């Protein structure tokens, strides 16, 4: 399972970063981005919750 953040859509609200820092962080452009690797097995629920809570639907999770 892998998370992807659409950089053009992201508004840098920080919801995903604060809700699941194991998967999401801010990049040098101050946009959220996901880790390059697969989502750690213990963080899948939090990663999905962050996706579902994104106010602009910028996050996709591929299974």
Q: Give the mean pLDDT of 31-36.
A: 96
The predicted-structure confidence for 6-30, as pLDDT tens digits, reads as follows: 999 999 999 999 999 999 999 999 9
Give CA–CA dist 37/54, Å, rounded: 21
Domains in the chain: how many in total?
1
pLDDT at 53: 98
pLDDT at 17: 98
Q: CA–CA distance from 42 to each of 1, 23, 38 (Å)? A: 12, 11, 11
pLDDT at 60: 98
Q: Which domain does 44 fall in, by range?
A: 2-62
pLDDT category at 51 given cuts 50, 70, 90 is very high
CATH number of the domain residue 30 falls in: 3.30.70.20
pLDDT at 38: 97
CB 47 within 8 A of CB 20: yes
Nearest alpha-carbon partner for 4 in 39, 42, 45: 39
Which 3 state secondary structure label does DSSP give 25?
Answer: strand
């Amino acid at each position: 399972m892998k998370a992807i953040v659409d950089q053009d859509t992201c508004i840098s609200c920080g919801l995903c970063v604060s809700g699941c820092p194991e998967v999401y962080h801010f990049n040098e452009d101050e946009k959220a981005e996901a880790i390059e690797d697969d989502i750690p097995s213990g963080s899948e629920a939090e990663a999905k919750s962050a996706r579902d809570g994104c106010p602009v639907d910028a996050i996709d999770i591929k299974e």
